[in-house]
Amino acid sequence: MFLSRLSPLLAALAFLLLGAGCATGEGGSTAAGTNPNVAAPSTSAQLRPGDTMIVSLLSIPEPINSNVQIDEQGLIRLQYIGAVTAAGLTTSELSQSIRDAYINKKFFTTLDVSVNVTERYIYIGGEVQRPGRIVWSPDLTLTKAVQSAGGFTLYAKEARVMLTRDRKAYDFDVKLAQRHPEQDPLLFPGDSIQVPRSAF
């Protein structure tokens, strides 16, 4: 009699344990039917390689405007002072760094510097028609990025698209994101997307 009462309890306990094993785990694994909820990067205001900007030197007899892009080493190059580290700084920190460099090297005694970012990028690779850089905009989502890259190839594994942010990778089902826009994550500058090849 006791065992007959106990067996439904054991079955219920086994069901709960099995369900717990399917919950979302760390590092981007997802529960069935949902995409991971990825936090915005803590450093989204920081400049990254690939960002382009206009650096304006003001409060001097002949103001100078320079169109520059941060290279893979995180540097920009400016007239007279050469290479300046830009990646990892905010625009205000970069402005101060440029101002200090010109004054310390005695090119100017007084100077105002303005840095205005003109284009930032995300990166997409793998099984899309046009892999490479995509210009970032505040409303850019994962599905929009795939569309901007010309869509998937015939061999794309659309249910296992990897988003890398802050050195962590997350797997997304893009078909699910298309059906449920609330599961289509907003992208941020420097995000990287990789579309794997299906085995079939």
Asked, colleague to colleague, whether 52-118 and 120-200 share their fold, the answer is no
Q: How far is CA 140 from CA 92, 135, 148, in A?
A: 25, 9, 10
Residue range 148-162, pLDDT digits in tens: 999 999 999 999 999
Q: What percent of the chain has pLDDT over 70?
A: 82
Q: Output the six-digit token pair for 63.
A: 């103001």
Between CA 77 and CA 68 the distance in angstroms is 7
How large is the average pLDDT for residues 173-177? 95
CB atoms within 10 A of CB 156: 20
Contact 193, 186 (CB under 8 A): no
Q: Give the per-residue pLDDT at 39.
A: 86
Report the predicted TM-score, pTM, of the whole model to 2 decimal places. 0.70
DSSP secondary structure string for all residues of 33-81: T----PPPPTTTTS--TT-EEEEEEESSSS-EEEEEE--TTSEEEETTT
Domain 52-118 sits in which CATH superfamily?
wza like domain (3.30.1950.10)
Averaged pLDDT of the chain: 85
Residue range 66-104, pLDDT digits in tens: 999 999 899 999 999 999 999 999 999 999 999 999 999
Q: Give the per-residue pLDDT at 43.
A: 67
Q: Give the per-residue pLDDT at 29.
A: 43
pLDDT higher than 70, residue 58: yes
CATH class of 120-200: alpha beta
124: three-class secondary structure by DSSP: strand
- Residue whose token pair is 């802050």: 166
- Rounded to 5 degrees, what are φ and ψ at 49? -55, 135
Return the higher-pLDDT residue of 16 and 143: 143
Give me the residue spans of the domains in the chain.
52-118, 120-200
pLDDT higher than 80, residue 5: no
